[in-house]
Amino acid sequence: MTRDYKNRKPAKRRSRGRRKEAPKSKFKLGLFAVVTVALVAWGIHFLNSISGSAEEAKAVVNKPKATVQAKVAEKPLPKPPKEIYEYVDTLKQKEVEIELQQQSDSKTPYIMQCGSFRNQDDAEVMKASIAWQVGQHSTVERTEGQNGVWYRVRLGPFTGDPENQLTPKRQAQGLQKQLRKLKIANCQFWPSKA
Domain positions in the chain are: 25-77, 110-191
Range 110-191 has CATH code 3.30.70: yes
DSSP 8-state code for residue 24: P
Preceding omega of 157 cis (within 30 degrees of 0): yes
pLDDT at residue 129 in the model: 92
pTM equals 0.45
Q: Give the angle subtended at the CA of 127 by the CAs of 126 and 128, to the nearest 5°.
A: 90
pLDDT at residue 71 in the model: 64
- Inter-residue contact 123 to 140 (CB < 8 Å): yes
Residues with Cβ within 8 Å of residue 160, at least 6 apart in sequence: 105, 106, 107, 166, 167, 168, 170, 171
Q: How far apart are CA 149 and CA 120, in angstroms?
A: 10
pLDDT at residue 186 in the model: 84
List per-residue pLDDT tens for the chain, 194 residues long.
Answer: 677 667 767 667 666 666 656 556 788 889 999 999 999 999 999 988 887 666 666 665 555 555 556 665 677 888 888 878 888 788 888 888 888 776 555 678 999 999 999 999 999 999 999 999 988 899 999 999 899 999 999 998 988 888 888 888 888 999 999 999 988 878 998 888 76
Amino acid present at 189 = F
